[in-house]
Every structure is written in structure tokens, then in C-alpha cells.
Amino acid sequence: MAILVMKFGGASVGSTTALTQVLSIVLQEHEHWDHLLLVVSALDGVTDALIEAAQLAQLSNRRGYRRIVATLRTRHLALVEQLPLGTNERQALQADIDRLLFDMLGVCQDLANRPAREPKSAAFDEIIGVGERLSARIVATLLRQNHLRGVAIDATDVLVTDADYGHAHPNLELTRVRMNQHLMPMLSRDIIPVVTGFIGATETGRPTTLGRGGSDYTASILAVCADAKEVWMWTDVDGIMTTDPQEIPDAQNIDELSYEEVAELAYFGARILHARMIGPLREHQINLRVKNIFKPRDPGTLVHAMPPDQSRTIKAVTIIQGLSLTAEYNGPLVKITALIDQALHTTTGNHTEVMISAQSSLRTFLCFIIPTTIGPEALRATQNNLDRCLQEVGLHTTWSVEPVSVITVVGADLARLSGDTARILDALGDLNVLALSEGPSGHNLSIVVTIGDGEIALGKIHSAILNND
Ligand code: ASP
Ligand code: MG
């Protein structure tokens, strides 16, 4: 029984043109596989708007969140208006959209009336997860209109997580049990479940979300629990590329990558995949393909278990923003890392990870990333906040906090390919390297430069990678 899980990202459900592609892809693959299981993201931009609405509700800004919900309603209804649907189906779908948004307004209302304002809560996750519930209904209706048995499923009924709101962790055992109860029987009745990405619920039914870009993670968890053969991620780019084409236009598509390489790419900032989705697929050896909805015949990128010899080249390079802390200090690092985490949490609401640390007899260098979506304003705020925290606790030493760029080269067995490392460093010419770190997996080499040198370093390293082919 071969099951294919297909995940459609925000850009592939955000317009009638894209949805027409989705439909023809599903019709096509329905012929080739025993069962299909679909996972959908919210229409592009919708989650951003919902997060803003939830934040405004927390600030009791009623006009603010009502305005956002009205705009979202108009956008979804306009899309449904343009789709080739029968009158009854269209009306039922429009009523569904209205009901979901009306209920969500109620949650905003409660949040606005609540005196204690927790930054992360079930109410917040309930609000920001409504985008996926809307898109799943749109896609399922479109399938039904075309003689496929599409049924929208809210992942809150199947994907069980812990209560780490905004960043929840799925519980595979419980999810498998729920899937066996609800989803697998549907597959045997030739139903195509259209499951909401990004969202889940605790065992007791409190709504959660899996972190930004979390629909990828949903696809991977459902694939593992359904024993699927492959996972296909549909996007509007050709696959995983040698670098972000928005930064470097001559970026090229990569035919194949190992799980390890793609995990490092996602971790070090390639925005195409959710970093936590790779582990479960790797463990269960489920192949992953990244494909362009507008070029369904193209192979895209295949991620699978690769024998080391085949993959011994540098594959890609990423860039990510971070802050570095240099201090005249050589005591235990725990105190400083806890401070950094605290400062970042107050400014961004996220926890951070120290990516590189180095200590010598007198000095300590730490480099940590901050979420790429944070923007320059928040970066500066974080920098100031960290400076203030350090002043308050008194490190009894001098320090400096600076924004930096972390450029990461990903490939297999980089630790052994010393020639390649030399070539990469050579490509940087006289750019000032602040720190260098070979990842413990041996699949990545990270280079820290000043924020001003970031783009230049990325360009130089990317040319060196292409010229080697
Ligand atoms: N809609 C969610 C987000 O924008 C999840 C996803 O698209 O994967 O983060
Ligand atoms: Mg994504």
C-alpha cells in the first residue's frame, strides 16, 4: 500500500492559477499511488496577518484586529468567488469561511478582555492557526468539485503535541494512535484527507502551533505515522538551490542531497524547509522531494539516504543574521548564554541558540542567531537589550555586542575535504573572518563576518562553489 504525502505551501494555495495546478497535480498522482494524503499551509501572508491580529488582541486594540480579520475575509471570499465551483458548494464554503473567522474573532475578543497577557498561549495559537483551517476547506471543496473525495481535516484532531505554545513538539505515539482511528480508515475508503499544516493540539485538546513554516513538519510527522513511501513538498521554486536566489540570482537547483546535508541547510537558514522536519524522515528513510507546482514534470530536488562517496562535494551556502558577543572573560559560559537567552526572549519572544563559541585564556567569543524574520529594527533593539542586561548583572569585564553574518557552507564530509575548506577561505580574499567553526556533524563549515561583509562573502563563496562543477 503506497502512500504519498504532498504538502502545498502558501504560494501554491494563494491564487486561482496556483490552485488549478494543485488540482491537476492531485488528479495526476491519484492515478499513480494507492493513497494520497495532503497537507496545506495558509494562503501566503495570512499567518503574518493573523499573528498581527493576535498581538493587537493582546493589546486590546479591537479596531486593529477587526480590520485585519475583515481584510482576510475579503481575500478568502474573493478567491472562492473566482474558483470554478457549483453554486451550492461555493455557498457552503463561504459559510464555512465566515463561521471560522467569526469564531476566531470571539477568541480575539476573549484575549482582549483578559487581564493577564501571556505572550504564548493556546488562545494565541488558536488565532494564528485559522489560516490553515481556511485553506484546507478551500482545497477539499475544489477536489470534491472534480470528483475526488477530498475532506478537510483539522490537525487538532490528529496531531498531538506538548503544550509549548508557538513551538510545540509532536508526540509520535499518540499521533499514530489518532491517525489509526481517524485518518487511516478514510484512506481505505478512497478519501483524500486535506490536513491543516502548522497546527496541532495537546492531549486535552488545547490548540498549539509548530513554529513558523511548521506545515513542513506536519507533513513529515504524518508521513512517518502513516508509513508513507514519499513526501513531496510543492513550492513555487524549482527545488533546493545552491543559495537563496533572492540574494544571488545565478543560484542553481540541486538534484539530490542527503538527509544530513538538508538538515544542516535548514538549520543554518535556508528558508525552504522547517529544520525539524528532516529528523523523522531520515529515521524512517522516507524520501523527500521538493518540487515546483508550475513545473510538475521537473524532478525538483530529491532528498534521500546517499552513500558518502556520491555526495562528497560542497552543495550549497546559506547566510543568516546573528549577534556576536566578545568579552574579556574566561569563566563558565553558562551564565552568559542564559543571559543572552533571556535578553532575546524579552525582545523577540523566541529562544535562541548559541551557534559558535570559542574561549581562550582571556577572551570569550559567542555567536548566536536570531530569527531571520526579526528585521533590522528588532536586531538593534535586541542588541541594546542585551547590552543593558549585561550591564545590570555586571560581568565585571569589558564586552561588545555586534551584529554579524554567519555564512554556512554545506556538503558531505567537509571535515575530510581540507582542500575544499582551503578553497572556500581563499575565495574570501582579504575579508576579515571573525570566527570559523566546523559543525560537529562534519557537514557544515560556518564563517562569521561583519554584517557589512555578509553579502560580499556569500557572493564570493557561491561563485567558488559553482566554478568547481
Ligand atoms: N502558515 C504557517 C507559516 O506561515 C505555516 C507554514 O506555512 O508552513 O508559518
Ligand atoms: Mg515553508
CATH of residue 148: 3.40.1160.10
CB-ligand 1 contact for 235 (6 Å cutoff)? no
Tell me which of 348 and 28 has the higher pLDDT: 28
CB-ligand 1 contact for 454 (6 Å cutoff)? no
* Domain harbouring 453, CATH code: 3.30.2130.10
- The answer as to whether 263 is a domain residue is no
Report the nearest atom of ligand 1 relative to the CA of 213: 8
- The answer as to whether 282 is a domain residue is no
Which of 236, 253, 279 is where one domain is finished?
236
CB-ligand 1 contact for 214 (6 Å cutoff)? yes
Beta bridge partners of 408: 318, 446
Q: What is the pLDDT of residue 310?
A: 55
Same domain (yes/no): 84, 229: yes
Q: What is the pLDDT of residue 154?
A: 98
Q: Which residues are in the CB-under-5-Å shell of ion ligand 2?
A: 213
Q: What is the pLDDT of residue 417?
A: 60
Same domain (yes/no): 341, 446: yes
Average pLDDT over residues 95-121: 88
CA 460 to ligand 2 centroid distance, Å: 27
CB-ligand 1 contact for 166 (6 Å cutoff)? no
CB-ligand 1 contact for 213 (6 Å cutoff)? yes
CB-ligand 1 contact for 198 (6 Å cutoff)? yes
pLDDT tens, 139-165?
999 999 999 999 999 999 999 999 999
**Of the ranges 90-94, 163-167, 426-430, which is most confident?**
90-94
User: Do the beta carbons of residue 349 and residue 120 sit within 8 Å?
Assistant: yes
Please say if the pLDDT value at position 197 is more than 70: yes
Spatial CB neighbours of 37, under 8 Å, sequence gap ≥ 6: 3, 4, 5, 6, 183, 187, 192, 193, 195, 222, 223, 226, 228
Same domain (yes/no): 199, 337: no
CB-ligand 1 contact for 242 (6 Å cutoff)? no
CA 271 to ligand 2 centroid distance, Å: 7
Same domain (yes/no): 324, 181: no
Q: What is the pLDDT of residue 307?
A: 74
Burial class (CB in 10 A: 0-12, 13-18, 19+), 58: buried
CB-ligand 1 contact for 131 (6 Å cutoff)? yes
Q: What is the pLDDT of residue 368?
A: 78
Same domain (yes/no): 223, 344: no
Average pLDDT over residues 13-28: 97
Report the nearest atom of ligand 1 relative to the CA of 41: 7
Same domain (yes/no): 226, 320: no
The residue written with cell numbers 552513500 in the block is 307
Spatial CB neighbours of 83, under 8 Å, sequence gap ≥ 6: 16, 19, 90, 138, 141, 142
User: Do the beta carbons of residue 455 and residue 320 sit within 8 Å?
Assistant: no
Instruction: Give the 3-state secondary structure of residue 151.
Output: strand
Nearest ligand to the C-alpha atom of residue 40: 1
All three cell numbers of 365, joined, read 567569543
Separation between Cα atoms, residue 170 and residue 95, nearest integer Å: 31
Please say if the pLDDT value at position 452 is more than 70: yes
Q: What is the mean pLDDT of the chain?
A: 90
Q: Which residues span the domain enclosing 49? A: 3-236
Report the nearest atom of ligand 1 relative to the CA of 217: 8
Side chain identity, residue 415: A
The CA dihedral of 253, 255, 256, 261, to the nearest 10 degrees, is -20
Same domain (yes/no): 326, 217: no
CA 236 to ligand 1 centroid distance, Å: 15
Same domain (yes/no): 222, 331: no
Report the nearest atom of ligand 1 relative to the CA of 274: 8
The bridge status of strand 364-369 relative to strand 435-438 is unpaired
Which of 178, 203, 236 is where one domain is finished?
236
- Give the residue among 320, 282, 334, 296 at the shortest CA–CA distance from 441: 282
Same domain (yes/no): 215, 89: yes
Q: What is the pLDDT of residue 373?
A: 58
Spatial CB neighbours of 78, under 8 Å, sequence gap ≥ 6: none
pLDDT tens, 184-195?
999 999 999 999
All three cell numbers of 265, joined, read 541547510
Quote helix, strand, coil % in the chain, to nearest 5.
45, 20, 30
R_g of the chain computed on alpha carbons: 23
427 φ, ψ (degrees, to nearest 5):
-60, -25
Nearest ligand to the C-alpha atom of residue 44: 1
- 32-46, 111-125, 221-235, range with the lowest pLDDT: 111-125
- The answer as to whether 126 is a domain residue is yes
Enter the DSSP assignment of 161. Answer: B
Separation between Cα atoms, residue 408 and residue 251, nearest integer Å: 15
Q: What is the pLDDT of residue 465?
A: 85
Q: What is the pLDDT of residue 309?
A: 56
Q: What is the pLDDT of residue 185?
A: 97
Separation between Cα atoms, residue 243 and residue 253, nearest integer Å: 9
Q: What is the pLDDT of residue 46?
A: 97
- The answer as to whether 305 is a domain residue is no
- The answer as to whether 177 is a domain residue is yes
Total structural domains within the chain: 2
- 87-91, 188-192, 275-279, 371-375, range with the lowest pLDDT: 371-375
Nearest Cα residue to atom 5 of ligand 1: 213
Same domain (yes/no): 87, 214: yes
CA 281 to ligand 1 centroid distance, Å: 19
Element (DSSP H or E) covering residue 104: helix 87-113
Same domain (yes/no): 47, 190: yes
Q: What is the pLDDT of residue 87?
A: 96
Confidence of residue 395 (pLDDT cuts 50, 70, 90): low
Q: Work out the widest C-alpha separation in the chain, in whole angstroms.
A: 75
**Helices and strands, counts by H and E, the chain:** 16, 16
- Give the residue among 57, 4, 61 at the shortest CA–CA distance from 33: 4
Tell me which of 430 and 161 has the higher pLDDT: 161
CA 209 to ligand 1 centroid distance, Å: 10
The end-to-end CA distance of the chain, in Å, is 40
All three cell numbers of 299, joined, read 524532478
Q: What is the pLDDT of residue 360?
A: 77
Separation between Cα atoms, residue 96 and residue 83, nearest integer Å: 16
Average pLDDT over residues 71-94: 97
All three cell numbers of 453, joined, read 561583509
CB-ligand 1 contact for 42 (6 Å cutoff)? yes
CA 97 to ligand 1 centroid distance, Å: 19
- The answer as to whether 389 is a domain residue is yes
Same domain (yes/no): 45, 139: yes
Separation between Cα atoms, residue 46 and residue 52, nearest integer Å: 10
Which of 216, 236, 256 is where one domain is finished?
236
- The answer as to whether 148 is a domain residue is yes
Percent of the chain with pLDDT over 90: 65
Confidence of residue 267 (pLDDT cuts 50, 70, 90): confident
Instruction: Give the 3-state secondary structure of residue 412.
Output: coil
CA 452 to ligand 2 centroid distance, Å: 27
- The answer as to whether 297 is a domain residue is no
Nearest Cα residue to atom 6 of ligand 1: 213
Side chain identity, residue 20: T
Q: What is the pTM of this model?
A: 0.89
